[in-house]
Amino acid sequence: MRLRPPRNRVDRRAIAYWTSRGLLVSAVAVTVPAVAAVVVGGLTPTSGWADWLWGLAALVALPALAVTLVMPQWRYRVHRWETTDDAVYTLAGWLWQEWRVAPMSRIQTVDTQRGPLQRLFGLSTVTVTTASAAGALSIDGLDAERAAAVAERLTEVTQATEGDAT
């Protein structure tokens, strides 16, 4: 097994998925203090709490918007994955990037997940659980059909690989 970076990019639709997910999280983060400002302002119009809450909403909105616009493009450029007959390779992260290699003999389970937003974009996540203290490897942003094929192939290869995955 040769240690090297993985070759495959995630599906390009992952950019739209990550952007949508960022918008949803940002909307909640901004809406909560904004709604609180409206409620507090209506209940006690002379207190300074409503102004403070509006300021908090604005303070949260700027970085949330920046993260929503920048993060998906950045993640798409960084995220890579690859499976061979010997190992699963992943490269992921945003500010802190993590390169992981899991030998087939260490794989314990292979799972796919599809949340509602992922289904909307036709994407899935493949999670490879290993006998490692570092935890599972995730390949986020795969086409749903490709994810199913990857999971099936990994299951076949790990079943044929000698070792007890511990």
Number of Cβ within 10 Å of residue 96's Cβ equals 6
Q: What's the one-letter identity of residue 95?
A: L
Please tell me what DSSP assigns to residue 106: G
Q: Check residues 113 and 46 and name the one with the higher pLDDT.
A: 113
3 state SS of 46: coil
Residue 44 has pLDDT above 90, yes or no: no
- Output the pLDDT for position 2: 65
Where along the chain do its domains lie?
13-75, 81-160
pLDDT per residue as tens digits for the range 87-106: 999 999 888 889 999 999 89
Pairing between β-strand 123-130 and β-strand 107-113 as defined by DSSP bridges: antiparallel
Q: What's the one-letter identity of residue 66?
A: A
What superfamily does domain 81-160 belong to in CATH? FACT complex subunit Spt16p/Cdc68p (2.30.29.210)
Cα 126 to Cα 82, 108, 117, 153: the distances in Å are 12, 13, 16, 12
Please tell me what DSSP assigns to residue 83: E
Pairing between β-strand 87-93 and β-strand 107-113 as defined by DSSP bridges: unpaired
Residue 65 has pLDDT above 60, yes or no: yes
